[in-house]
């Protein structure tokens, strides 16, 4: 997803276009990895020194709720990345050192149908954690 597409999606949902929100989206468009909320705050404060952690956190959750960002938990804190726009259902390998991701084109739910007979599955999330080749 590019920056203009993300901004347009927010406008279509009735959200105001702000420079802070645009900067936040730029951070994620330019990095293919999960980023901690504290790191996002540091990067945004380079351009907007008075922005608060609460404002950043609220916007991270807004962007996640609007399916522009994805969230996961690493090392006990929330990390965020730009939502995948690739075709097809897939999951991710996440490097626990640098936060980079790699798409995994396999879904373990395909093997679960007979093990969950009678259950109605609403959603699922499958993530693999480890060290990427650069961090090993």
Count: domains in the chain: 2
Q: Is 92 annotated as a binding residue?
A: no
Question: Within this chain, do residues 54 and 24 fall inside the same structural domain, yes or no?
Answer: yes
Residue among 18, 27, 70, 65 nearest 46 (CA): 27
Per-residue pLDDT reduced to its tens digit, 70-91: 999 888 899 999 988 766 678 8
Please compute, for residue 94, the number of CA atoms within 13 A of its CA located in the half-sphere on the CB side: 21
Per-residue pLDDT reduced to its tens digit, 3-31: 999 999 999 999 999 999 999 999 999 88
- Residue 64: pLDDT over 70: yes
Question: Within this chain, do residues 99 and 34 fall inside the same structural domain, yes or no?
Answer: no
Residue among 60, 58, 78, 57 nearest 68 (CA): 60
Question: Within this chain, do residues 59 and 8 fall inside the same structural domain, yes or no?
Answer: yes
Provide the percentage of residues in the chain whose pLDDT is more than 90. 60
Mean pLDDT of all residues in 90-107:
87
* pLDDT-wise least confident of 30-44, 59-73, 98-112: 98-112
Instruction: Write the CATH number for 75.
Output: 1.10.10.10
Q: Is 84 annotated as a binding residue?
A: no
Question: Within this chain, do residues 21 and 76 fall inside the same structural domain, yes or no?
Answer: yes
The domain containing residue 33 runs over which residues? Answer: 3-82
Q: Is 135 annotated as a binding residue?
A: yes
Q: Is 95 annotated as a binding residue?
A: yes
Mean pLDDT of all residues in 18-45:
94
Q: Could you tell me how far CA 18 lies from the centroid of its own chain?
A: 20
């Amino acid at each position: 997803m590019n920056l203009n597409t993300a901004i347009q999606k927010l406008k279509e949902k009735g959200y105001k276009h702000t420079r802070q929100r645009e900067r936040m989206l730029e951070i994620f468009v330019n990095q293919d990895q999960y980023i901690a909320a504290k790191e996002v705050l540091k990067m945004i404060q380079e351009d907007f020194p008075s922005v608060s952690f609460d404002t950043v956190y609220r916007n991270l959750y807004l962007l996640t709720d609007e399916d522009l960002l994805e969230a996961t938990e690493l090392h006990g804190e929330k990390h965020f990345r730009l939502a995948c726009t690739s075709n097809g259902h897939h999951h991710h390998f996440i490097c626990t050192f640098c936060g980079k991701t790699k798409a995994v084109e396999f879904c373990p739910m395909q093997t679960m149908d007979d093990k969950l007979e009678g259950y109605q599955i609403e959603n699922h999330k499958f993530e693999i954690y480890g060290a990427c080749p650069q961090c090993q």
